[in-house]
Homo-oligomer: A and B are copies of this chain.
Amino acid sequence: MKPRTRRGGGRPTIADVARLAGVGAITVSRALREPERVSETLRQQIQQAVEELGYVPDPNARALASARAEVFGVLVPSLTNAVFAEVVRGIYDSLSDGPFRVQLANTHYSGLEEERLLQLFLSQRPAALIVSGIDQTDTSRRLLETADCPVVQIMEIGPDPIDMMVGFSHLEGGRVATNHLIEAGCRRIGFLGARMDPRSQRRLAGYKAAMKAAGLFDPRLVTTTPVPSSVTLGRDLFRDALAKMPSLDGVFCNNDDIALGVIFECHRAAIAVPQTISVCGFNDLDMMQVAYPSVTSIRTHRYEIGRQAVGMAMAAIDGSRPENRIVDLGFELRRRESTDRQN
């Protein structure tokens, strides 16, 4: 009977450190997690023992004993969408120095998938959860409300947060973009939308509101598809819209990929931008300012959303929940050549 190294790969445990440092195991545990509760002397002895043995705490044992994993669960609808990629980067960057790991999953824009993943995440007792959007299913919402950890909904804001929120109003974004096209002198402004997830729907709603307010709305101006967005699709949608409505003089694109597809198609078909057709995108990806012509877009603060989401969750974990449970990071209209009809 040799209980030593029976299963573990022989890696040092907290008991080994304790023995070497001549203290109790629990003191080592404390020295690592709450150094201020351990005297300077012991802290140094322990630190030295840790280094000598190359001790690294086992996160699984830790999670089991404390009934709390040092994990941020993050649910996003897409991994390849540049917008979410930046949000995710913001989250990872904010979390990289702390003890927290990230558990990322892709819902593929499916509420059911989100439920399933939430269930999975919850089984780990995460330290916090970050979910995309505000349109969770009833089941998901219930799971999140009873989750016993901070929850941050990101990308959008709305009136009824599960816990906390950081994002901006897509409806307002759509409205501002559309109004900008109207002010630029466009009258028959098309809406091109792909995927039509809830955020796209709200941008469309903002477009409709602006168009109706100006007395310019016509349902034939709207061209959408449930197909995932891409530059190629932008070109196709634009062709469809033009076939339906040859007199278009502006398009508000659901996102920048579509706008780029429009720009390319205009080159190909020798349509003058902005003179014949003005173009406005959404998100303001890096390339929009370099495009020819440069493309007007709504700048959104994706990276910052990721950072703030982590910041808010962290504050809640530390017990200092921000008084502002809803953070509106806004957006900015970036005016560029594609809507500048003056020259």
Judge whether A243 is part of the interface by a CB distance below 8 angstroms: no
From B86, B123, B235, give the contact of A57 (CB < 8 A). Answer: B123
- In the complex, what residues of B have CB within 8 A of residue A88's CB? 79
- In the complex, what residues of B have CB within 8 A of residue A267's CB? 267, 292
Shortest CB–CB separation between residue A325 and chain B, in angstroms? 24
Shortest CB–CB separation between residue A52 and chain B, in angstroms? 16
Instruction: Look across to chain B and name the residue whose beta carbon is closest to the beta carbon of A294.
Output: B264
Whether A80 contacts B69 in the complex (CB less than 8 A), given A63-B60, A232-B286, A264-B290, comes out as no
Shortest CB–CB separation between residue A10 and chain B, in angstroms? 11
Judge whether A221 is part of the interface by a CB distance below 8 angstroms: no
Whether A92 contacts B79 in the complex (CB less than 8 A), given A148-B9, A232-B290, A264-B290, comes out as yes
Instruction: Look across to chain B and name the residue whose beta carbon is closest to the beta carbon of A105.
Output: B92
- Inter-chain contact B9/A125, CB cutoff 8 Å: yes
How many copies of this chain sit in the oligomeric assembly? 2
Contact with B along A103-138 (1 / 0, CB 8 A): 111100000000000011011110000000000000
Instruction: Look across to chain B and name the residue whose beta carbon is closest to the beta carbon of A86.
Output: B80
Shortest CB–CB separation between residue A32 and chain B, in angstroms? 13
Whether A123 contacts B58 in the complex (CB less than 8 A), given A85-B80, A92-B106, A260-B287, comes out as yes
- List the 10 closest A-B pairs by CB distance, nearest first: A231-B287, A267-B292, A60-B63, A56-B123, A264-B292, A80-B85, A79-B89, A60-B64, A60-B60, A231-B290
CA distance A102 to B106 in the complex (A): 11
Judge whether A61 is part of the interface by a CB distance below 8 angstroms: yes
A sample of 11 cross-chain residue pairs with beta-carbon separation below 8 angstroms, ordered by A number, consists of A60-B63, A60-B124, A80-B85, A80-B89, A89-B106, A93-B106, A96-B106, A102-B104, A231-B287, A231-B290, A267-B267
- In the complex, what residues of B have CB within 8 A of residue A96's CB? 106
Question: Contacts A7-B67, A85-B85, A101-B120 given; 11 further ones with Cβ under 8 A?
Answer: A58-B123, A59-B124, A60-B61, A60-B69, A79-B92, A80-B82, A230-B286, A230-B287, A231-B287, A264-B290, A267-B292
